[in-house]
Structure 1
Amino acid sequence: MLKITVADEAKQCSEAGARSVRSVHRMPFGAELQADGGVRFRVWAPEAESMRLALDGRAETIAMECDAGGWYEVVTSEAGVGSRYRFVLPDGTYVPDPVSRFQPEDVSGPSEVMDPAAYAWRNLEWRGRPWDEAILYELHIGTFTPEGTFLAAIGKLDHLVELGVTAIEIMSVGDFSGRWNWGYDGVLLYAPDSTYGRPDDLKALVDAAHDRGIMVILDVVYNHFGPEGNYLPQYFPQIMTDKYPTPWGQALNFDDRQSDRTREFILHNALYWVEEFRMDGLRLDAVHAIIDTSSTHILDELALSVRAVAGDRRVHLVLESDDTMLHRLGRDSEAQPLTSTAQWNHDIQLLAHLGMAKGQTEAQDRRDANRLGKALVEGFTAATQGIYTPAIDNGLIPPGGFVSFIQTHDVVGNRIAGERVTALAPPEVVRAMAAVYLLAPQVPMLFMGEEWGASTPFPYFCDFKGELADAVRKGRLEQFGDVARLEDQAYLAGVPDPLAESTFVSAKLRWDEVSQGVHAEWMDWYRRVIAVRRAEVVPLLAHLQKMAGTYVVRGPRAVTVRWAFEQGWLRLDANLSDVASGAFDAVDGRVIWQEGVGGVGGELGTWAVRWSVRDDALERVTATADSLRE
């Protein structure tokens, strides 16, 4: 099967250079430096009658030879590191290399020949971190710093260390059309977008993160290509399919004619990021839109291939899906992932709903408390689409199989003005919501700037032109705005234009806020609660090898959740309402965090959260956590 071919090929390279100061992922396509100093150019173009190579600075193009399988290839000594090149279709159209490692002049410009072995890695002994230790921090390179570059991001890593973050999750960086974009309109999946810097700059960011004990997870998009700059269908139309439409256009073809080449293209991309850039994992975007009826689903093949070549490195694969993916979250007898590591727990966003919902009935509030309990102990509620499997009942999935949050690029950006939760709810409400997800056994994920209550929004932005720009602008308003007011200029004046540079600039974090007033108070609060998680909750996770939680609804918006393990339990009491409640049981254990008014008895004040633990049989050191709570 392809998974054996791709994995074995990459593993051979990995084993040969695992202890060297270089990391290279060998690919059967693209531009590859030769031992004699030349370059081999190879591209799959089964629908092209001819292909030629165009080198910048060379007047004539170079003919490429085609084998019986549809591969075009040429080796030339006229190219080397730094050469810029394109392929020329029979009709004279110049196209970039679909596996270009770098596009210095955007998606329609020439590709650049890179030496992937040029970067000398410092952290050769880095083997990653256990998933139980993960405290994720999602960030967008272009707006994380004023400069919006990989190198500038390095300067903020010490801030994340101080905060207690152990892993950054970088929003997709695959080359997109234009000067700014969320990243989910990528068309050249192997090339880090040039607006962020060069490939070695991204490697330097990964290296610097490893210096500080921080894992790096990269967001990848394998469900569609962006709407501008995708030339692949002109010479390999079978890479796309109309069988499974997505909200963003045609899906990738993983199960029809010539789908083996699509699979190869995607599998090598995943291996490329893990091997050549030494990523600690991948977050796979919207996998519910990846339809594959093959005997081995591409997601499972990808996971097996990545794990096969990772060797003794810990590599984590996170799924984002509207459907349940429990069958991909199982563990082996040693509690290691069989395929995927975790899935985003979209249902935990109910916390944000509770924080902002007004005027609900008591029945609705009780229903939401029940759903919150289910989201915390099962990862999903009855509202989630998809088919339930008995994986949880069989004890195959630990709490770490789910990633929890109250803010992400989607949660914030899918509000028409991109408002953060701190702009929509009072501070005590936000603290209560955050205290729930940050201390729960599921893996927590902050969205950049959340830790200091950043004042900057995160609206949707892109940099398309012409009719496409108009279509995006209109579609955005129709999706999240009031269609009847699309001609109302006063209304439109208050809505960020997703195509405007000012919208992109408005999303850039203001780092001067971190040490100022209320923002400094937020920073201190997040630092302390994360420290308690690391000291009190993380040591318990090894004893929670399955989703063993139970919950009791105590009243409207009030719930008790308890996770049992052999030596004791972890317990949450939460009253997420504007009315105090006396319906809780007294604490039978040690309180590790109290948010809002409440003691150890049965009453909790408004928007109050209490975490306690019973762990008499475990040897624990609590002095650090106690001092942080004072």
Structure 2
Amino acid sequence: MGAEYNSETRQAEFCVWAPLRSRLLLETGEDRLLYTMQRDDDGYHRCEVKGCEPGQSYALVTEDGRRLPDPASRFQPDGVHGPSALVDTRAFLMRTTDYIAPRLHEYVIYELHVGTFSPEGTFAAAIQQLPRLAELGITAVEILPVAAFAGERNWGYDGVQPYAVQACYGGPEGLASFVDAAHGLGMAVVLDVVYNHLGPEGNYLREFGPYFTDAYRTPWGEAINFDGPDSDEVRAYFIRNALFWLEKYDIDALRLDAVHAIYDTGARPFLSELQAAVDEAFGSDLPMGSGATASRRPRYLIAESDMNDSRLVRRRDDGGYGLAGHWADDFHHAVHVLLTGERRGYYADFGGLEQLERAMFQAYNLSGGYSAHRRRRHGNSPEGVPTERFVVCIQNHDQVGNRMFGERLSQLVTPEQYRFALSLLLTSPYVPLLFMGEEYGETRPFYFFVDHGDEALLEATREGRKREFAEFYDGVEPPDPVAESTFNDSVLDISAAERQPGKAILELYRELLRIRRESGGARTVERIAVALPVIAYRRGGFVVCANCGENAVALGLRQVGVERSHVRVCSWMAAEELAEQLSAGVSVDAGPSVQLPGWGVVVLELGEGG
């Protein structure tokens, strides 16, 4: 679908699924030359045009003379309302030929928003930061959605052109260069895609076909038609979109946004069909290194869902959908509520050490038990699912940005609690995700922001944001999501990593990620029975002991089955002392016991006989 350009023949093939249109004309170039598209019985309109060049503009002309962008446009250089442009995606392939991708259990994901990751807000500027992430130990970079949206300031979830790369970020060439640079440093790239809705401005898909349904409703607008009349071609449109990013841009994995809002009651769920298509194109279990090429290495689908449904990641022959990963929330919620005491909304199901232990060692806090928030049972058992199938965090764009004032965890808890949280995250049995700036304790907020061209839509967004928080913040207004200053205030201050306490936090992240690599990445940990508020677990050649309370605890090493060991990391050292010790590679022999201060975490490296 869309326009496929061949640089050798200078010819482009155009294909549009538009069953609602009896006739479409293709208009190309500044001269606005018109070509009649041939319609088949399935509603596809096609034509070939010779003598084309990359960047050449084109539009689709309807029976009533309206000029519309291609619903599968590769690029919208003049915005979502303007004409589409030809892109030679073949030029992007295999630019880094010696790339060996990390396996899923090796992933340490760094989530970033291109627009606020740097003052420039572009792929080119983000590329300059990739070496420091690779040096830190990041193995996969996840970027929030880049599908074209209205204006220049948006999280990306208001995208309306699923195949087009946002122009202000750097367009298709910018994304291709970003992927190439990440691969050159040995890092995978995860792209966030949205298949549950489209944004409110510049959404022209309904002009061409029955892409939407009124049988369901999402919190963000019309639901996609995945199971109604004529849904076969709608499903094909989004399956091709997933393959497009993986093939044309060499993306390693896709994060599927809010799959619980992908409504499909058919016998073969869309998510299962999507995974089958990816497996057919790339293989599902090829070894990396020798024998695996860049085009045939496995690609991963990671689903975000709050349903605690392990079927997402169970094999298809075990009754599951066969996806590679589940972006799960319970670990975040358990840590957040334990540290902050917040109990509103879905936080009502959390708050104690019992919930933290379940999230830490069983992935889900609720796996069929009663949810006070939902007032019903929730979830199912993840037993038997490998730990590498779960992606967890202590903060992400949603958990920060959906707060009224966009506070990061570093602003909500004490320094000791922050180090406690990050220590649990990086020694957990799951795939860890860091939100940009987290690695040095960024304190600048990450706000919700938009930049629509429709004034009525802007005002509706303002009022909706006010209503969302009115119950909790009586008389206090949230930051204006439309104001450019709200966006600018969300840009990272990378310089904070070069001074204390950011420098010390960065060193703690670096050392814990080193330990994580040495102990096998995402892997099952062996829980050690100790009295609360301490939780302890063996991770390869290491034992982690965490005091989950504010009072100091003396822990005998024999209580955790340790005879001989030395301290590799302890979270409670003063910032300067911690930075000095870790940078010098100094370790301290552990005596018969360890005094764990409030919220203290110690990682013991086992010696012989340990």
TM-score range, shorter chain: 0.7 to 0.9
- 1:376-455 to structure 2, matched below 5 A, reads 376-382=360-366, 383=371, 388-392=379-383, 395=384, 397-455=385-443
Q: Is the 8 A contact 1:128 1:314 kept in 2?
A: no
Structure-2 separation of matches of 1:402 and 1:120: 30
Q: Is the 8 A contact 1:30 1:98 kept in 2?
A: no
* 1:468 maps onto 2:473 in alignment: no
Query: Which of 285, 298, 322 is residue 306 of structure 2 equivalent to?
Result: 322
Per mean C-alpha deviation after superposition, the further-off stretch among 351-360 and 258-267 is 351-360
Structure-1 separation of matches of 2:526 and 2:504: 33
Structure-2 separation of matches of 1:553 and 1:479: 42
Instruction: State the secondary structure of the residue aligned to 2:545.
Output: strand
Matching residue of 1:627:
none
Structure-2 separation of matches of 1:71 and 1:120: 28
Matching residue of 2:282:
310
CA 1:563–1:521 in structure 2 vs 1: closer, same or farther (change >3 Å)?
A: closer
* 1:372 maps onto 2:356 in alignment: yes
Q: Is the 8 A contact 2:2 2:70 kept in 1?
A: no
Q: Is the 8 A contact 2:330 2:365 kept in 1?
A: yes
Structure-2 separation of matches of 1:330 and 1:160: 32
- 1:153-168 to structure 2, matched below 5 A, reads 153-168=126-141
Structure-2 separation of matches of 1:610 and 1:408: 25
Q: Is the 8 A contact 1:587 1:612 kept in 2?
A: no
Matching residue of 2:207:
234
Structure-1 separation of matches of 2:609 and 2:520: 15
Q: Is the 8 A contact 1:51 1:90 kept in 2?
A: yes
Structure-2 separation of matches of 1:455 and 1:343: 28
Q: How many Å apart are 1:62 and its aligned residue?
A: 3.1
**Letter of the 1:227 counterpart:** P
**Letter of the 1:580 counterpart:** A
Q: Is the 8 A contact 2:362 2:382 kept in 1?
A: no
**Letter of the 2:531 counterpart:** R
CA 1:524–1:586 in structure 2 vs 1: closer, same or farther (change >3 Å)?
A: same
Matching residue of 1:271:
243
Q: Is the 8 A contact 2:392 2:433 kept in 1?
A: yes
Query: Which of 558, 568, 571 is residue 595 of structure 1 equivalent to?
Result: 571
* 1:554 maps onto 2:531 in alignment: yes
Q: Is the 8 A contact 2:255 2:304 kept in 1?
A: yes
Structure-2 separation of matches of 1:178 and 1:69: 34
Matching residue of 1:496:
479
CA 1:256–1:553 in structure 2 vs 1: closer, same or farther (change >3 Å)?
A: farther
Matching residue of 2:147:
174
CA 1:387–1:615 in structure 2 vs 1: closer, same or farther (change >3 Å)?
A: farther
**Letter of the 1:470 counterpart:** E
- Per-residue deviation, residues 268-316 of structure 1 (Å, max 9, x unmatched): 1110111111111111110000121222211111112112212441322
**Letter of the 2:307 counterpart:** D
CA 1:570–1:240 in structure 2 vs 1: closer, same or farther (change >3 Å)?
A: farther
Query: Which of 488, 491, 502 is residue 505 of structure 1 equivalent to?
Result: 488
Unaligned runs of 5+ in 1: 1-27, 619-630
**Letter of the 2:312 counterpart:** R
* 1:480 maps onto 2:480 in alignment: no
Matching residue of 2:230:
258
Matching residue of 2:550:
578
Structure-1 separation of matches of 2:17 and 2:337: 48
Percent of counterpart pairs with the same letter? 36
Q: Is the 8 A contact 1:595 1:610 kept in 2?
A: yes
Instruction: State the secondary structure of the residue aligned to 1:282.
Output: strand
**Letter of the 1:596 counterpart:** W
Q: Is the 8 A contact 2:2 2:73 kept in 1?
A: no
Matching residue of 2:286:
none
CA 1:55–1:412 in structure 2 vs 1: closer, same or farther (change >3 Å)?
A: same
Instruction: State the secondary structure of the residue aligned to 1:517.
Output: coil
Q: Is the 8 A contact 2:145 2:156 kept in 1?
A: yes
Q: How many Å apart are 1:243 and its aligned residue?
A: 1.4
Q: How many Å apart are 1:256 and its aligned residue?
A: 1.3
Q: How many Å apart are 1:122 and its aligned residue?
A: 2.9
Structure-2 separation of matches of 1:301 and 1:359: 38
Q: How many Å apart are 1:521 and its aligned residue?
A: 2.0
* 1:518 maps onto 2:501 in alignment: yes
Query: Which of 265, 284, 287 is residue 259 of structure 2 equivalent to?
Result: 287
Q: How many Å apart are 1:359 and its aligned residue?
A: 11
Q: Is the 8 A contact 1:513 1:519 kept in 2?
A: yes
Q: Is the 8 A contact 2:17 2:44 kept in 1?
A: yes
Q: Is the 8 A contact 1:413 1:459 kept in 2?
A: yes
Matching residue of 2:109:
136
CA 1:314–1:366 in structure 2 vs 1: closer, same or farther (change >3 Å)?
A: closer
Instruction: State the secondary structure of the residue aligned to 2:245.
Output: helix
**Letter of the 2:407 counterpart:** E
Q: Is the 8 A contact 1:459 1:503 kept in 2?
A: yes
Q: Is the 8 A contact 2:93 2:248 kept in 1?
A: no
- Per-residue deviation, residues 114-140 of structure 1 (Å, max 9, x unmatched): 111123633224241111211110001
Instruction: State the secondary structure of the residue aligned to 1:554.
Output: coil
Q: How many Å apart are 1:210 and its aligned residue?
A: 1.0
Q: How many Å apart are 1:445 and its aligned residue?
A: 0.9
Matching residue of 2:322:
339
**Letter of the 2:268 counterpart:** T
Unaligned runs of 5+ in 2: 284-291, 574-589
**Letter of the 2:228 counterpart:** D
Q: How many Å apart are 1:34 and its aligned residue?
A: 8.0
Query: Which of 335, 346, 356 is residue 340 of structure 2 equivalent to?
Result: 356
Structure-1 separation of matches of 2:83 and 2:10: 21
Q: Is the 8 A contact 1:134 1:443 kept in 2?
A: yes
Structure-1 separation of matches of 2:267 and 2:349: 44
Instruction: State the secondary structure of the residue aligned to 1:87.
Output: strand
Q: How many Å apart are 1:231 and its aligned residue?
A: 0.6
CA 1:49–1:204 in structure 2 vs 1: closer, same or farther (change >3 Å)?
A: same
Matching residue of 2:578:
none
Structure-1 separation of matches of 2:511 and 2:10: 55
Q: How many Å apart are 1:159 and its aligned residue?
A: 0.7
- Per-residue deviation, residues 152-205 of structure 1 (Å, max 9, x unmatched): 111111110121111111111111111110000101011110010021221111
* 1:55 maps onto 2:28 in alignment: yes
Q: Is the 8 A contact 2:217 2:223 kept in 1?
A: yes
Structure-1 separation of matches of 2:46 and 2:328: 45
Structure-2 separation of matches of 1:616 and 1:273: 48
Q: Is the 8 A contact 1:138 1:447 kept in 2?
A: yes
Structure-2 separation of matches of 1:451 and 1:285: 24
Q: Is the 8 A contact 1:587 1:601 kept in 2?
A: no
Q: How many Å apart are 1:605 and its aligned residue?
A: 2.2
Q: How many Å apart are 1:58 and its aligned residue?
A: 2.2
